[in-house]
Chain A
């Protein structure tokens, strides 16, 4: 099991591995989407300069 220690959590089954990675990616997409794309005014204003600097579509 030399390869096992090289990848993260290699002891889990490949299906569970796929699920967990997909879940992590979805969480990331949700976080980025909330900061960069939310139409809530307060969120937009709080992250206003950030959105401009990151060239997220903004107001």
Chain B
């Protein structure tokens, strides 16, 4: 399992670096917009406003228990959450690092199939591919959303997201690594298909969130992820270069 160990090692370092960079960019660019949106969310009275409690439910519950309905449903819906401020920020950094390593594992493993990321410029292009697969493609159908914005069924959106990412990845792979016209056409078809099917959309787009705020969030979210992928690709190249360099000087003893 030496190769596996090497891949995990490279992904851990590159993912940590890119994750920390992304967390810093989010603290500056996207988190303030989320906090702003939460002001509107609290004004509209709850997290899951699209699954709002029906009037029948409220009357039934208020006669049955002395606990205010709002608090009861809130606790039931939300469970534990990090406290605002430092704790919330710390968990955000943690999530960034953990999933940064996850994305790095995918990137390193897939790029090794194609011979590996040899230098930082190749890393940039692998990063662009990751951006196209994980940000651009799913973002066309399901753009970044702020809290308190209406949305369709979560499970259906997750299915569409995963299918779109998979189809786009396979499509890009066919375009880049198969020198055959029919396969290239199939690749384009795979990239287009999820958008012909269409992402699940909410019944109504009505929201209290100002359009300007949402637009700002879409731009910030997309650009921070672009930088994340470029940093990740370049970081993988740098760490991998050190690694293979070391392996060479140590007569392949690492591998």
Contacts and interface: CB of A to CB of B under 8 A. Distances in A.
A41 B34 contact: no
A22 B88 contact: no
A13 to B, nearest CB: 10
Interface string B93-110: 011101101111111111
A42 B95 contact: no
A31 B30 contact: no
B4 A53 contact: no
Contact of A42 (B31, B80, B110, B162): B80
Contact of B3 (A5, A20, A32, A59): A20
Interface stretch (B56-64, B120-128, B190-198, B247-255): B247-255
B78 A41 contact: yes
A53 B22 CA distance: 10
Interface stretch (B65-73, B135-143, B174-182): B135-143
A35 B92 CA distance: 11
B8 interface: yes
Contacts of B7: 8, 20-21, 24
A28 B104 contact: yes
Interface of B is mostly: helix
A25 B158 contact: no
Interface residues of B, number: 69
Contacts, number: 170
Interface in A4-23: 4-12, 16-17, 20-23
A54 B102 CA distance: 14
A19 to B, nearest CB: 8
B116 A41 contact: no
Contacts of B252: 1, 4-5, 10-11
Contact of A11 (B96, B240, B255): B255
Interface string A31-51: 110011101011001111111
Interface of A: 1, 4-12, 16-17, 20-25, 27-32, 35-37, 39, 41-42, 45-59
Interface of B: 1-4, 6-8, 10-11, 26, 30-31, 34, 47-48, 77-82, 88, 91-92, 94-96, 98-99, 101-110, 112-113, 115-116, 118, 135, 138-139, 142-147, 151, 154, 157-158, 161-162, 221, 224-225, 240, 243-244, 247-248, 252, 255
**Which 10 residue pairs of A and B lie closest in terms of their CB atoms, listed nearest first?**
A28-B105, A31-B102, A9-B3, A41-B79, A45-B81, A57-B157, A25-B109, A32-B102, A55-B144, A50-B95
